[in-house]
Amino acid sequence: MQRTLAFSIAALILFIPANILPILSMSTLGFKTESTIWSGTVALWNDGTQGIAILVLLCSIVIPLAKIFGLFFLCVTCKTRSSKSTVTIARFVEVIGRWSMLDVFLVAILVALVKLGTIATIRPEPGIIAFAGVVVLTMFASANFDARLLWNTQDAKK
């Protein structure tokens, strides 16, 4: 539990720069623009691709945050809550964890699509490193969470 909590706290700390710092910069014909996750989502929405904007918002902001808070909840309430409610949250964290990797693939696809040689250049910025750290730390937190403790708590209450 302590490792899961430590990884979750570290992920939450990195979540702030991951969403404040630019994740990509693009230079096109001498003009440089930097994009954060939020500004990219807003730009997608304004360009008429609301479905992709919602997908990026969910996979890049909502799901990682829900996973971090779900892991916090499990660590804090594991000893005091009933097994049924904590097992439901543990399953929820496991299911949404798969979706948190989708945004990494979206960035890879974007870079592949916009590789235009001398016309445009895309560079990763510090925000993408912080975001990758969030993804890795939440994966470590999930991997270190021992679901057997949920059942042990229930057995001890009997």
The reported pLDDT for the residue numbered 32 is: 83
Region 2-147: CATH code: 1.20.140
CA distances from 136 to 10, 43, 86, 144 (A): 10, 27, 23, 12
The reported pLDDT for the residue numbered 82 is: 61
The amino acid sitting at 158 is K
Closest CA to 25 of 13, 44, 46, 40: 40
Q: What is the mean pLDDT of residues 56-83?
A: 81
Q: What is the mean pLDDT of residues 39-64?
A: 86
Q: What is the mean pLDDT of residues 107-119?
A: 57
- pLDDT band of residue 158 (cuts 50, 70, 90) is very low
Q: Which of 13-17, 71-75, 91-95, 116-120 has the lowest mean pLDDT?
A: 116-120
* Contact in structure between 144 and 4 (CB atoms under 8 Å): yes
CA distance linking residue 13 with residue 9, whole number of Å: 6
The reported pLDDT for the residue numbered 150 is: 64
* Whole-structure pTM value: 0.75
* Contact in structure between 93 and 74 (CB atoms under 8 Å): yes
